[in-house]
Amino acid sequence: MSMRPSGSDEVPAETMRVARAAFPKGSLAIRMRDELGVLFSDEQFAGLFPARGKRAWSPGRLAMVLVLQFVEGLTDRQAGEAVRARIDWKFALGLELTDPGFDFSVLSEFRDRLVSADAGRGILDAILAAARDRGLVTSGGKARTDSTHVLSLARELNWLEQVGETLRAALNAVARAEPAWLSAHAVPDWFKHYASRIEDSRFPKAQAKRVEVGRRIGADGMHLLRMIWADDAPPALRELPEADTLRQVWVQHFHLVEGEVQRRDPKDRPPGAMRLVTPYDTEARSGGKRDIFWDGYKVHLTESCEPGAVHLVTNVTTTVGAVADQRMAVVVHAGLAKRDLLPDEHWVDTGYTSSGALVAARRDHHVELHGPMKSVTVPHARGEATHGQGAFTIDWDNQQVTCPTGVTSTQWHQRRSEDGLPTIRVRFSPADCRTCPQLRACVNSPKARRREINLRPRDEYEALQQARTLQKTDEWKARYKIRAGVEGTISQAVQACGLRRSRYRGLAKTSLQHQLTGAAVNLIRINAWLT
């Protein structure tokens, strides 16, 4: 299909007359058209369509339909019906009263086009641009960010269900691609064990028998993998996504012990960020936040929070569930910088704060990042029955540290932490520490013979100390209360738009869902502000 821009942006006279009569007090859709004008133009989506072919329905109007759909929590079929039947939607879209609209399947196709070009961010950007033109949002001021979990569209599976469904999905894919080859090579028992969904069968209650079922599934999957990667197998089978998923799941769950397939020990499995949790959504990952654990994704919402102004969602970022909040402050600031909506003060919770994040926010974006710093967990660093780091004097220029008894360190080395971050390792001489009467009050281990200290780079260390000192004041604690409001935004997005359950499979489509959610929340709030 090709895209040819529609002509006039004016609302047809008859549509306007009937809409004004039917909605004398207005409605959200009508008010948005009156106050913000045409939010999306066809030219904005020109790159999503070829130059030739049958003319597509206006993509600018389709984008508006998607946002209104999330505002009201409608399905595709209901949204298509609203375009045909509702006067206020026809007003917002600038359609004639007699316009028949489109088949609801067009929305699914249009979302696919948006996902392929990562154009979902442009929808939220267009609404923010219209709000900026009307003076509803500006750069500077205050903003706040928080994250919440998002469940994958595919339901959570235990490990027997996961490996069984992965093998069944691979067998079905092979059967579709090469039915004759599979009939000639399949083990007869496969049709009995994997013809129906695994959840429709009953696993034995006894643990020993469940282990045997797992070994049987593991051996069957290993046999199928050998068949697919054999020299005489059709090459197309190795290109099947389901075959690669089977290979990945078997690597993370099984290994060969003396020629037999055995389940891996938990410590021998890949880390959570790499581990697949379901064959039906291969980008979903296991996540944890405090006492909540889930399979799926995580979304970070940032909103403006200036007193006396409408609070709008200014940035939405979606990641897999395994990505920690601590990595996201720099990503959020980069997104806000692209929209020219960086705040002066950014309020977050403990998950986002670190010494590196504080320094990067100031250095790269001139943003003051505020949030409770993580407490010190190393005993000899926090000072429990020991001399904490605060008792030592650091001479950054001469690269020396002096202990409470006046002894100076002898080693100062630049290192990298396990996460690849720069750190400084400071050591004192064993000869000085061994004879010190306060050694046991300085080191935590009874076998230690000298004190060692790990420091962050100077700018990060000083920023950390400054932040911890500031956060002890009553003034800062009172100001920090402003962050709590973002939890209300998450609640609104959950209840109005279903934020915590992905409607689609995959990170890209889930991210589009969240961009549309942010856009919908903004329209709801602008409408409430105007009325």
pLDDT, one tens digit per residue, over 320-338 is 999 999 999 999 999 999 9
- Tell which wins on pLDDT, 390 or 10: 10
* Residue-level pLDDT at 290: 82
Q: Could you tell me the CA-to-CA distances from 298 to 152, 302, 316, 326 in Å, in that order?
A: 10, 13, 11, 13
- Whole-number pLDDT of residue 6: 60
Spatial neighbors of 250 by CB under 8 A, at least 6 apart, are 163, 218, 221, 222, 225
Rounded Cα gap, residues 443 and 439, in angstroms: 6
Which residues does residue 408 pair with via DSSP β-bridges, in sequence order? Answer: 402
- The whole-number pLDDT of residue 385 equals 45
Residue that is written with structure tokens 């080395």 in the block: 413
Kindly tell me if the per-residue pLDDT of 153 is higher than 70: yes
Angle between helices 59-72 and 507-530 (to 10 degrees): 80
Structure tokens at 431: 């000869």
Question: What are the residue boundaries of the structural domains of the chain, listed by start?
Answer: 13-117, 159-268, 285-373+476-529, 379-456
Report the relative pairing of strands 393-395 and 400-402 from DSSP bridges.
antiparallel
Residue 480 confidence (pLDDT) above 90: yes
Higher-scoring residue by pLDDT: 159, 386: 159
- Average pLDDT in the 427-446 region? 83
> How far is Cα 241 from Cα 173, in angstroms, rounded to an integer?
9
Specify whether the CB–CB gap between 152 and 298 falls below 8 A.
no
More confident of the two residues 267 and 144: 144
Give the pLDDT band of residue 383 (cuts 50, 70, 90): very low
Q: Tell me the mean pLDDT in the region 294-316.
A: 96
Q: Is the pLDDT of residue 493 over 80?
A: yes
CA-nearest of 510, 376, 528, 507 to 454 is: 376
- Which option is the CATH number for 285-373+476-529: 3.30.420, 3.30.2310, 3.40.50, 1.10.3300? 3.30.420
Q: What is the average per-residue pLDDT within 229-238? A: 94
Residue 291 pLDDT > 90, yes or no? Answer: no
Q: Tell me the angle at which helices 76-85 and 105-116 cross, rounded to the nearest 10 degrees.
A: 110
Torsion-angle region of residue 203: left (phi > 0), alpha (psi -120 to 50) or beta? Answer: beta
Least confident among 56-60, 72-76, 148-152, 385-389: 385-389
Query: What is the per-residue DSSP string for 56-76?
Result: PP-HHHHHHHHHHHHHHT--H
Among 245-254, 304-313, 445-454, 469-478, the least confident range: 445-454
Helix (H) or strand (E) holding 146: strand 142-151
